[in-house]
Amino acid sequence: MTKNWSVARILRDRDAALCLAASSVSGFGTSALWLASGVWVKDLTGSNGLAALCVLALWVPTLLGPPLGSLADRTRRRRLLVALNLGPAALLLTVLAVDSPDRVWLLWAVLFLYGTAAVVADAAESALVAAAVAPELLGDFNGLRMTATEGMKLVAPPAGAGVYAAYGGPAVALLDAATFVCAAGLYACLRVREERPEPATAHWRARTAEGARFLWGHPGLRPLVVAGGAALLLSGLGGPLVYAVVEGLGHSPAFTGTLYAVQGAGSVLVGLASGPALRRLGERRFAGYGIVLTAVAVAAQAVASDAVALVCSAAIGVGLPCALIAALTAVQRETPDALLGRVTATAGTLMYAPTAVGLAAGAGLVALVPYQPLLVLLALARLAILPVLRGAQRAASASRTAARSSSDANPA
């Protein structure tokens, strides 16, 4: 059984294992830096608002995903990934000069460029993985990548905070730079065969629009991406409510960290199970079951019980990533290689950008409405996403029917 276990197959594959290791190493550095950078700015300026701009600087480039993703289709992805890791590693060295409030702008600028490189790198990595990993194992790889990412989120922020406390912000920047150099070395070791991209003949806006048109016009991909974006929008709306839930339990705000850690552990587990689940259920049902599980868990958070709160956090950790893993796997499988960078980045923008909108709206709602009714409403709103996924089911059924018709018309 172990021999045929899909996770073991991924780890035994040299190129797939190298991609996973590179993503994990760079993810560790990024997770360590995002927390330490905010603490760094807070210590220098004393301002919570200025500290929050560090996360904003990292996040804003996500809005530029469609045009940035087109860069991943202009050159061989392996070389691009090596450059996109060595570049930020060198760039991070400039923040060693941040030692006073009037130089904080330099840190924000570096973080913005860092986030921009990350958007292009994510698009290039997705396209490279689609070439390196067998189509039937893409779900397993994406699940393992989710497991590694969530695992780094559990380990890296405390590690970054510890390095910052002992040696200061420049030491965290050097740590992050070292992880990028390591990731670049891992990508350089890949043996993936890539065709030279055809020279671009259209304006960059036309190339960007081409990727967006393909995604929005694909009857199987559009419902999955829309469902993923809606799920993250509602997750953002519910984000500020966790503090109200903790207050309702009678705990200090520090208990929020425990709930997030349990949620992260749930995401680690679903990452390990996602490959077999996708093969058994298909993307649409896998995403739908995850949305239903999240809805039930969100509603149950209205119960003032520590045990219920912990179970709900774990269930949210399991359910929330399902739509994202399903959408990304479908994009990798259904998109032509020449468009994959643009389509992946566009899908990323459509799915992740709504989170910020939800966080802003949720912060206002929690101040106006009791949190228990809000939790129930957010749960019902999640269930309202499910009809969107029917489009993916109809598209899949039509695709299977067309395939059978083609097979019958052209017998071997």
Structure tokens at 44: 């220098």
pLDDT band per the 50, 70, 90 thresholds, residue 264: confident
- From residue 13, give the alpha-carbon distance in Å to each of 10, 149, 192, 193: 5, 20, 12, 15
Please give the Cα distance from 309 to 95 (Å, whole number).
Answer: 40
Query: Is CATH 1.20.1250.20 the right assignment for the domain spanning 204-399?
Result: yes
Q: What is the pLDDT of residues 220-237, one digit of tens each?
A: 999 999 999 999 999 988
Range 117-138 average pLDDT: 87
pLDDT in tens, 83-122: 999 998 999 999 888 888 999 999 999 999 988 999 999 9
Asked if pLDDT for residue 3 goes beyond 70, the answer is: no
Q: How far is CA 264 from CA 40, 162, 268, 320, in A?
A: 25, 20, 6, 11
Give the orientation angle of helix 104-132 with respect to helix 138-167, to 10 degrees.
Answer: 160
- pTM strictly above 0.85: no
- Of 365, 242, 348, 223, give the one whose Cα is nearest residue 298: 242
Pairwise CA distance, residues 5 & 178, whole Å: 33
Alpha-carbon dihedral of residues 133, 225, 81, 110, nearest 10 degrees?
A: -150
CA distance 299 to 407: 47
* Contact present, 370 and 296 (Cβ < 8 Å): no
Tokens of 299: 């509603």
Which one, of 56, 12, 66, 399, lies nearest residue 225 by Cα?
66
pLDDT tens per residue, range 179-221 = 999 999 999 998 887 777 666 666 777 888 888 899 999 999 9
- Alpha-carbon distances, residue 221 vs 189, 225, 292 (angstroms): 32, 6, 20
Single-letter residue type at 10: I
Q: Where do you find CATH 1.20.1250.20 in the chain? A: 1-190, 204-399
> CA 384 to CA 382: how far, in whole Å?
5
The 10 Å Cβ neighbour count of residue 250 is 9
Right CATH for 1-190 from 3.40.1010.20, 1.20.1250.20, 2.60.40.10, 1.10.3720.10: 1.20.1250.20
- Once rounded to an integer, what is the mean pLDDT over residues 362-376? 82
